[in-house]
Structure 1
Amino acid sequence: MTLPRFDALCIGNAICDVFAHVEEDFLVAENLIKGSMRLIDTEEAVRLYAKMGQTTRISGGSAGNTAAGIAQLGGASAYFGKIAEDELGTAYRHDMTGTGVAFDTPALTDGPPTARSMILITPDGERTMNTYLGACVELSPDDIDADQVAASAITYMEGYLWDPPGAKEAFLKAAEIAHAHKRKVSLTLSDSFCVDRYRSEFLGMMRDGTIDVLFANEHELKALYETADLDTAIDSVRKDCALTALTMGENGAMAIGRENTVHVAAEKVEDVVDLTGAGDLFAAGFLLGLSRDYDHAMSAELGCLCAAEVIRHVGARPERSLRQVAEQQGFAL
């Protein structure tokens, strides 16, 4: 088996994130559930944007954030995601390639515009997402570059992308190529709402070996097994998946294997500004650790370090060099 050229290939919704700080009253007035993610149409996107006030725009999307995080750690990452051939799409590609991510998915020339997510941040740092999917749902098997999949140690996909049939087929094609080249395949559950819609399919892929590494937070994992007891969910996922990376906020993270489980503490953060991207950046650190053959504890520690760095400011991209932050903590990258 040849050595991988990329530490990870990330597949996801190419979405431009638009952030705004709002008070709790704003969510109440708009009848929004704090911490939720909802899909909206073009009309609602325009209406809500007009009410948001001052905003910050950053190219994002869950798997895109992870790919950028790996690159900022000094790793090699690639990204598959669908943008439109428009101003926002051009800016998105420029931002991604500017971080060092290989992003060559052809732009959509005829169809909906580039996707965007309007993220409302309340004073406690919680984010409420309102997402217009636009062009990103047009990702198809034709967008899967087999050579890049084969050259990636791990292929990672976000659960948010499981809705469109074409994207689902694209991921399954990538998974087949990855396994044919003895590479690993990973999925993040993304959101409890995704789990509720596709529980049987996610479990099926875990049990049939399509998924080698699962990412979830405690709410998603409990939703997956329809239980209020975390220990019950952990016992269940241990049987279903070879490795699960479980994030638990201020309680740290766990790496759950068939035989052993490790628990690492969270990095202390005095002033949490915005939780957006915490899970995405944890995945960046954990995936890079796996690709570099770190043990599970060290991979989880690197993930926690990356998550802690991103929640200190607005947005899902680190403001400081992740590589420098990690090296200062003793990681040899």
Structure 2
Amino acid sequence: MAVVGIGHAIIDLFVQAEGELISELGLDPGSMTLIDDSTSREVLAHLSVLKASSGGSAANTLAGVSSLGGATYFVGALGNDQFANNYRDDLEDVGIVFIDNSLDLGASNTGHCIVIVTPDGQRTMLTHLGASIHVLDSVPNIDLGHDAIVCYVEGYLLDSPSGGQNIEAMFSKEIAGVEYAFSLSDRTLVQRRKPQIWELIKGGGISILFGNEDEFLELCDSNDLLGAVEKVGAYVGEGAITLGAKGSFVFSRDQEPIVVPAAQIEVVDTTGAGDLFAAGYLYAREKGYPSYERARMGNICASEVISHFGARPLVELSTLVAKAF
């Protein structure tokens, strides 16, 4: 089995700042805000980059699956700059096969994300999409000859020009052995694209829905998580909701919802927590584990990535998980 991820190819630029900066910039702590190139340059002029690494939500999830031992492919679009070469090399280094789905973009810049980490470990993101926004200019071919494929699609793609239309086209196209997973990605994205997300959900093409508690509640205009799960569960076969320090919450049509406690660990940087949770969940699902164990493996993977700066694991997750399974 393979996991194919489709998402924005983004270089993550990590910076540290006090919480006051988030207020000064008029940002919602923990959110992702889209910015243009000039705004990016202005923000970076006042901050020092601690670390730069290839990122993007779907690519981070694939890095986790690969670290667990799974076969992975990333569909993305890169610019014509040095960051593009770095991005391809980084994917190759962690065992991800890159599939370029972009047209000729000319002298475009590779997308990047300024990740502002505050002392409480919270991350607030400012993203300039650059060339990455063109990943769904055409519907990608995900029929790669594997017996089974989970195609993991990040919700951020709904901000791409043809994102909603071509995601819907993929989800409605039945390919033998292919299941689709979709991530809500960010609460503010859910606010912006709520009607489109519900169209995708009600279309019946999503097998697995990922998100955090705030995203699910926002999606359902609710303060009741169980009520939100019931509403979504009418259309989606299974889902997994991250709850931060409380762990995760999994549901499916054939069993009662389950809360799975989180591993207790000091939080340094929450960047990539949801991405790595999805990696553990998908890998455990591939291996035939029941829902509780899928979420437990997701929690373990997420706990590793929040223990340090950066959205990719620093240790082999296969070794880490082997101690617990």
Q: Does 1:137 align with 2:125?
A: no
Q: Which amino acid aligns with 1:94?
A: D
Distance 1:151 1:12, change over 3 A: farther
> In structure 2, which of residues 65, 70, 78 is the aligned counterpart of residue 75 of structure 1?
70
What whole-Å deviation, never above 9, does each CA across 1:268-321 have from its counterpart, x for those lacking one? 11x210000000000001111122221111111110000000000001001111
Shift of 1:174: 3.5
What whole-Å deviation, never above 9, does each CA across 1:107-147 have from its counterpart, x for those lacking one? 65415310000011000000010000000111135461343
CA distance in 1, matches of 2:172, 2:203: 12
> In structure 1, which of residues 277, 297, 312 is the aligned counterpart of residue 307 of structure 2?
312
Q: Which structure 2 residues correspond to residues 29-68 of structure 1 after superposition, within 5 A?
A: 29-68=24-63
Q: Does 1:166 align with 2:162?
A: yes
- What is the aligned partner in structure 1 of residue 321 from structure 2? 326
Partners of 2:4 and 2:74 within 8 A in 1 = yes
SS at match of 1:112: coil
4+ residue runs of structure 1 moved beyond 6 angstroms?
A: none
Partners of 1:159 and 1:189 within 8 A in 2 = yes
Q: Which amino acid aligns with 2:227?
A: T
- What is the aligned partner in structure 2 of residue 17 from structure 1? 12
CA distance in 2, matches of 1:189, 1:51: 31
Q: Which amino acid aligns with 2:92?
A: T
- What is the aligned partner in structure 2 of residue 124 from structure 1? 120
Shift of 1:258: 1.5
CA distance in 2, matches of 1:281, 1:55: 21
CA distance in 1, matches of 2:115, 2:302: 18
- What is the aligned partner in structure 2 of residue 303 from structure 1? 298
CA distance in 2, matches of 1:50, 1:143: 37
What whole-Å deviation, never above 9, does each CA across 1:196-241 have from its counterpart, x for those lacking one? 2222222222222111110011100000110122222122222231
Partners of 1:153 and 1:291 within 8 A in 2 = no
- What is the aligned partner in structure 2 of residue 197 from structure 1? 192
> In structure 2, which of residues 250, 253, 271 is the aligned counterpart of residue 258 of structure 1?
253
> In structure 1, which of residues 173, 177, 184 is the aligned counterpart of residue 179 of structure 2?
184
SS at match of 1:51: coil
Q: Which structure 2 residues correspond to residues 206-245 of structure 1 after superposition, within 5 A?
A: 206-245=201-240
- What is the aligned partner in structure 1 of residue 152 from structure 2? 156
Partners of 2:105 and 2:131 within 8 A in 1 = no
Partners of 1:22 and 1:121 within 8 A in 2 = yes
SS at match of 1:9: strand
SS at match of 2:144: helix
Q: Does 1:267 align with 2:263?
A: yes
Shift of 1:28: 2.9
102-111 or 259-268, which moves further after superposition? Answer: 102-111
Structure 1 gaps of 5+ residues are none
So what's the TM-score if we normalise by structure 1?
A: 0.92
Count of residue pairs the alignment pairs up? 323
SS at match of 2:131: helix
- What is the aligned partner in structure 1 of residue 276 from structure 2? 281
Partners of 1:206 and 1:212 within 8 A in 2 = no
Distance 1:172 1:141, change over 3 A: farther
SS at match of 1:254: strand
Q: Which amino acid aligns with 2:70?
A: G
CA distance in 2, matches of 1:136, 1:294: 34
Distance 1:267 1:171, change over 3 A: same
CA distance in 1, matches of 2:169, 2:301: 30
CA distance in 2, matches of 1:21, 1:322: 26
